[in-house]
């Protein structure tokens, strides 16, 4: 039997991720957001870097759903680390929805105007960027409700947190059954930072959806492997933001079950099996051909 989507720290516990696998794809994003709002999604996640804020905002305005019922996140691009106000105002204007619920620093590292990733020495210190985001809360009160970070490891949070006036509301990182981020999750929980999970279905690296344990749990409940992963994510108090352009899968992704403890534990412990710890985020892996030519560790992050 499906259970209603809860709210964690004032945020609907399943969101719609609007990274379309490539920048732009605005018309597809528009239709996806319209459909999602129609079937009950109330949390939409986008970013300046996705190049679809305008379409996402238009879909929200056209939806007929009250603005106050929708939680909307967007993100500061790496190219704007040294001009936070301008970065925010660009997103604010693109979305054109009155206010932004949550504004995230997309990555701890800056990039130059061509998108080239800057080393910690070349780019602006993320603590200073965070200070500008804190100031934004004061100078743009009413336009932005909360601020947070994305792709921050424990190491980086340990640098940031002793220096903040405002604790980040959220750390958005990649989380899935093969990359459950257990230490980071525990750390964030201890600091009152909500984890939002991107790539909860593995983006394009989705082997865990075919994992025999996941499939076995799915068969037991008569649901899909994706629903197992998303139910697990919500049950462990993270907020997954799956993307789907397909109306049937969109519906699946907010139709969750409560897993029995033994089944929850099977998924929670999956990453301990040999070969099942896959991590694909910029924090830990090289992404060939992308701007992320180096791992965060190699960069000294």
* Binding test (CB under 6 A) with ligand A2P, winner from 31, 83, 236, 249: 249
Size of the site for ligand A2P (CB under 6 A): 16
Q: Is 108 in the site for ligand A2P (CB under 6 A)?
A: no
- 50 catalytically annotated: yes
* Binding test (CB under 6 A) with ligand A2P, winner from 244, 254, 257, 266: 244
Q: According to the annotation, is 179 in a ligand binding site?
A: no
Q: Is 278 in the site for ligand A2P (CB under 6 A)?
A: no
Which region, judged by CB under 6 A, interacts with ligand A2P, from 135-143, 239-247, 257-265, 292-300?
239-247
Q: Is 49 in the site for ligand A2P (CB under 6 A)?
A: no
Q: Is 205 in the site for ligand A2P (CB under 6 A)?
A: no
Q: How far apart are CA 180 and CA 233, in angstroms?
A: 9
Q: Is 203 in the site for ligand A2P (CB under 6 A)?
A: yes
77 within 8 A of 47, measured Cβ to Cβ: yes
74 within 8 A of 95, measured Cβ to Cβ: yes
* Residue 279 Cα distances to 52, 119, 192, 203, 275, angstroms: 26, 22, 24, 12, 11
* Binding test (CB under 6 A) with ligand A2P, winner from 55, 242, 270, 281: 242
256 within 8 A of 227, measured Cβ to Cβ: yes
16 within 8 A of 41, measured Cβ to Cβ: yes
* Binding test (CB under 6 A) with ligand A2P, winner from 224, 258, 284, 295: 224
Kindly write down the DSSP assignment for every residue of 106-143, as one continuous string.
S-SS-B-TT-PBPPTTTSPPHHHHHHHHHHHHHHTBTT
Q: Is 226 in the site for ligand A2P (CB under 6 A)?
A: yes
- By beta-carbon proximity to ligand A2P, the closer residue of 15 and 57 is 15
Residue with tokens 């998924």: 267
* Binding test (CB under 6 A) with ligand A2P, winner from 31, 83, 98, 252: 252
- By beta-carbon proximity to ligand A2P, the closer residue of 100 and 197 is 197
- By beta-carbon proximity to ligand A2P, the closer residue of 137 and 285 is 285
Q: How far apart are CA 71 and CA 257, in angstroms?
A: 23
- By beta-carbon proximity to ligand A2P, the closer residue of 109 and 241 is 241
Q: Is 282 in the site for ligand A2P (CB under 6 A)?
A: no
242 within 8 A of 253, measured Cβ to Cβ: yes
With residue 226 as reference, give the H or E element that holds it.
helix 225-235
Q: Is 279 in the site for ligand A2P (CB under 6 A)?
A: no
Burial of 164: CB neighbours in 10 Å, binned 0-12, 13-18, 19+: middle
Residue with tokens 């403890």: 261
Q: Is 12 in the site for ligand A2P (CB under 6 A)?
A: no
- By beta-carbon proximity to ligand A2P, the closer residue of 203 and 295 is 203
Q: Is 245 in the site for ligand A2P (CB under 6 A)?
A: yes
Catalytic residues: 50
Known binding site: residues? 106
């Amino acid at each position: 039997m499906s259970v209603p989507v809860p709210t964690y720290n004032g945020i609907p516990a399943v969101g719609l991720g609007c990274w379309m696998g490539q920048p732009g794809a605005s018309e597809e994003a528009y239709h996806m957001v319209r459909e999602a709002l129609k079937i009950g999604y109330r949390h939409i996640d986008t970013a300046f870097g996705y190049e679809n804020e305008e379409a996402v905002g238009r879909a929200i305005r056209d939806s007929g759903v009250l603005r106050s019922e929708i939680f909307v996140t967007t993100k500061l691009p790496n190219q704007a680390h040294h001009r936070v106000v301008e970065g925010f105002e660009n997103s604010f204007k693109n979305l054109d929805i009155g206010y932004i619920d949550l504004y995230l620093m997309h990555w701890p590292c800056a990039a130059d105007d061509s998108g080239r990733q800057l080393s910690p020495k070349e780019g602006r210190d993320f603590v200073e960027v965070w200070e500008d985001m804190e100031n934004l809360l004061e100078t743009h009160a009413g336009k932005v409700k909360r601020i947070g970070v994305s792709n921050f490891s424990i190491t980086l949070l340990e640098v940031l947190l002793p220096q903040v006036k405002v604790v980040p509301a959220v750390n958005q990182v990649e989380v899935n059954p093969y990359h459950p981020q257990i230490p980071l999750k525990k750390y964030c929980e201890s600091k009152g930072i909500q984890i939002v999970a991107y790539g909860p279905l593995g983006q394009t690296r989705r082997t865990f959806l075919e994992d025999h344990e996941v499939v076995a749990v799915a068969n037991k409940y008569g649901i899909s492997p994706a629903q197992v992963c998303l139910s697990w994510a919500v049950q462990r108090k993270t907020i997954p933001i799956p993307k789907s352009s397909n109306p049937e899968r969109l519906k699946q992704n907010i139709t969750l079950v409560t897993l029995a403890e033994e089944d929850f534990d099977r998924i929670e412990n999956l990453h301990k099996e040999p070969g099942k710890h896959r991590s694909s985020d910029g924090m830990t892996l090289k992404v060939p051909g992308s701007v992320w030519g180096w791992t965060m560790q190699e960069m000294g992050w």
